[in-house]
Amino acid sequence: MDTERAGNSRFFTFLGRVPVVITLFFAMLILSILLNNVLFPSERIALRDKPLPDFDMIQKPGETLQSIRDFGPDGRKVYTKLMVVDMFFPIAYGLFFAGLLSYLLMGLKLSNRLIPWLGLIPGILDISENICFYTLVLSYETGSKTVEYFAAFLTPAKYIIMLIAMIVGTVLAVRNITKRLYARLRR
């Protein structure tokens, strides 16, 4: 399907191609496995069973910096190592969800240049959040309240936009399925 019919930019049209969506899915899956299972199982002990700040939806001022301090020197090294890998994961899932939304739009022959951005924005916010946390790890003794507040804003923002993208994606997928079933019944 050409770019004009899809109503998307060439970038999102490229991302919406089936081989690209499948490749991005597997890249996201591999990075997720690396983040959660393979790279750091024994090193998680160094984090002293503390939850990672990236997963705390409601961060209170001072808590993030205190969590990073509580990791101790070994925990901060592990967390820094984890964050290096975690810089690639948002790229993979952001591109995957943008591609999937673009694919679903093209299947419906809908023109909307904004919807694929719903898939990409959480990845951009996640990378920004990771930069904030990395900055806090490097300056854990003094810390920056501004960076901590910004990270506290980015975490729920990324999850809220991701939820909106998933809802929109579900609606588009249901419309695609309904359209195809209706076309089959008409034959």
The pLDDT tens digits for 64-89 are 888 888 888 888 888 888 888 888 99
Angstrom distances, CA of residue 5 to CA of 96, 105, 179: 21, 10, 17
Give me the phi and psi of 72, to 5 degrees please: 80, 175
Nearest to 118 by CA among 89, 153, 93: 93
pTM for the whole thing? 0.83
Q: How many domains does the chain contain in total? A: 1
Which residues form the domain of 83?
3-186
How confident is residue 101, by pLDDT bands cut at 50, 70 and 90?
very high
Place of tokens 């991302």: 15
Q: How many CB atoms lie within 10 A of CB 156?
A: 14
Q: What is the pLDDT of residues 4-30, one digit of tens each?
A: 444 568 898 899 999 999 999 999 999
Nearest to 78 by CA among 55, 45, 51, 54: 45
Residues 6+ apart with CB under 8 A from 96: 21, 24, 25, 27, 28, 119
